[in-house]
């Protein structure tokens, strides 16, 4: 493994939330995330609507069970992709608040983070 590959892998291992947040906040990812989110919400809402319609048309569920399923359907949410809260720099900063980073000594950082 080349030295630069080792450095990249190590940085990604210890700073995955920070690197992920930086990547997801880039302008290209933002546009792609918005587009994908819209499509996913449309699909999700269609599935939920279809399931609800099938539930209403079914005769073999007892009324009590139908009521519970309706409640679950209305409480369903879509959780796909990178969490929105991790896109906030303040959240990422607070996560890494206790870290001490030695700018000129990569291997000292490895010792600190692996202990």
Backbone angles phi, psi at 91, to 5 degrees: -65, -45
CA distances from 111 to 7, 10, 14, 81, 108 (A): 13, 11, 12, 32, 5
- List of the chain residues with pLDDT < 70: 115
Q: Alpha carbon 16 to chain centroid distance?
A: 12
pLDDT of residue 69: 93
CA–CA dist 93, 77 (Å, integer): 28
Total-model pTM = 0.62
Tens digits of residue pLDDT in 78-111: 988 888 888 999 999 999 888 888 888 877 877 7
pLDDT of residue 115: 64
pLDDT of residue 99: 82
pLDDT of residue 41: 93
């Amino acid at each position: 493994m080349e030295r630069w590959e080792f450095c990249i892998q190590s940085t990604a291992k210890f700073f995955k939330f920070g690197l992920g947040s930086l990547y997801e906040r880039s302008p290209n990812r933002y546009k792609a995330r918005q587009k994908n989110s819209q499509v996913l919400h449309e699909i999700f809402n269609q599935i939920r609507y279809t399931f609800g319609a099938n539930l209403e048309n079914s005769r073999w569920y007892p009324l009590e069970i139908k009521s519970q399923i309706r409640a679950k359907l209305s409480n369903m949410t879509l959780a796909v992709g990178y969490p929105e809260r991790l896109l906030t720099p303040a959240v990422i900063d607070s996560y890494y608040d206790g870290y001490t980073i030695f700018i000129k000594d990569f291997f000292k950082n490895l010792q600190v983070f692996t202990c």
